[in-house]
Each structure stands twice: as C-alpha cells, then as structure tokens.
Chain A
C-alpha cells in the first residue's frame, strides 16, 4: 500500500536544542519527497524537497533532510531550534506510483519550549 509514516505525532524540544522529525515511505519505484510546515490557521509552506542528486537537501529556516533509499526514509533535522519553529510538519511523497497528487503523512507537531 502507498503510505507515508511519520513516527512521532508530537516532539517537544527545548529552544536551541537539535531536533529530528522522522518520515518513512513505502514505494517500490523512484519517488520525490517533500517536507511542508503548517503554522496555526495557515496553509502549508514548502520547507524542502528531494528530487534527485545529493541525498542531503537543505531548505529554508535552517532545516535539512536526508534521503535514504535503502531505509525508505526522509528525516528532517535542524541543529538548533527556535520558538518560532513551533508548528506542524508534514512529510509528503509523489511519483509514478502515487500519481500527480501529494500523499501526506499524518504530521508531527513540533513544540519548542523556552
């Protein structure tokens, strides 16, 4: 079955600490991977995407993600978080097996505490 799994529904972390938000996908063919962020009462904003090439992808706001084909993972990381990073983060996949739509995970709420 086509799916995207975000293993943590909530991640609490202290300000300036590092964070990793996990994402695993299921697919037998090449995929394109995306991370979006959603602030309260707002739409989704693209953080970064993996299309091809280097498996380490850098995005906006200091976030980066690493594509691992053997583990079918695309975990999101930030070395030092800010209060303003508090939001919900969605991993999404797209590709021939999924069609033109984005298939999203259930989301991970990142709560940054001072």
Chain B
C-alpha cells in the first residue's frame, strides 16, 4: 500500500514565477486536503476536496492560489506570481470518509513539498 506522494519534494523559484505542486492520495481515498507549514509553526489548512468538489477554502488561500482535483484522484496546487512569503512546506493529506460528518477519520499526510521563493 503506497502512501500519499507529493511531487516535487523541493522547489526553488524566483519571485514572480508560477509553481505547481502535485499530490497523489492513497488509492480510494475520497477526501484530499492541502495544508501549509511555515518554520516553527504547525500546519495550517488551505483547502480540501471531496472527490472532485472543492468544499472549503481558507482565507489563507489568496487569489494567487488555485487547487484542482479534476477526476477525484490526484490534485494540483498552483501558486501564481510567487512572493517570498509563500516560502513554506506544502503538505497534502488524504482520507476515506464513509459517513457524512467525517470528523473522526484519519488524515494521512504526504512528505510535503518544500518551496523556497528567492
């Protein structure tokens, strides 16, 4: 059983460039989450999908950020016109939700993509 995978693991870019990260969840998991983790802080929620539908977005997700999960499988997170403040670890997590509330299910995290904006 493969876990959550993320690509790339590291990305260095110049300010103003666009970057795209990919997350492949655990097979059959219907929920996919994106979090951002800055140095010395815990992960902060960005957005999540149930299958292909994006159900919630954090206020942290500015207009420069867009996430997709086109077929309910892998997801991409794109950041346009990157800024130095975007430097962080971007974590993806997936889970299998059976009941509608789903607060109890375990989220499984990938290794993260570390972004450095110069």
Contact = CB atoms under 8 A, between A and B. Distances in A.
Contacts of A107: 40-42
Interface stretch (B11-19, B66-74, B103-111): B103-111
A90 B42 contact: yes
A51 B104 contact: yes
Contacts of A58: none
Given A44-B91, A44-B109, A51-B104, A105 B42 contact: yes
B43 A90 contact: yes
A87 interface: no
Contacts of A45: 109
Interface residues of A, number: 27
A42 B111 CA distance: 5
B42 A101 contact: no
Interface string B78-110: 000000000000010100000001111011111
A110 interface: no
A32 interface: yes
Interface residues on B, range: 20 to 34
Interface string A36-76: 10000111111001010000000000000000000000000
A6 to B, nearest CB: 8
A42 to B, nearest CB: 6
Contact of B42 (A49, A51, A95, A104): A104
B21 interface: no
7 contacts: A32-B103, A43-B4, A99-B56, A101-B58, A102-B107, A106-B40, A106-B41
Interface of A: 4, 9, 32, 34, 36, 41-46, 49, 51, 90, 92, 94-96, 99-107
Interface of B: 4, 31, 33, 35, 40-45, 48, 55-56, 58, 91, 93, 101-104, 106-112, 114
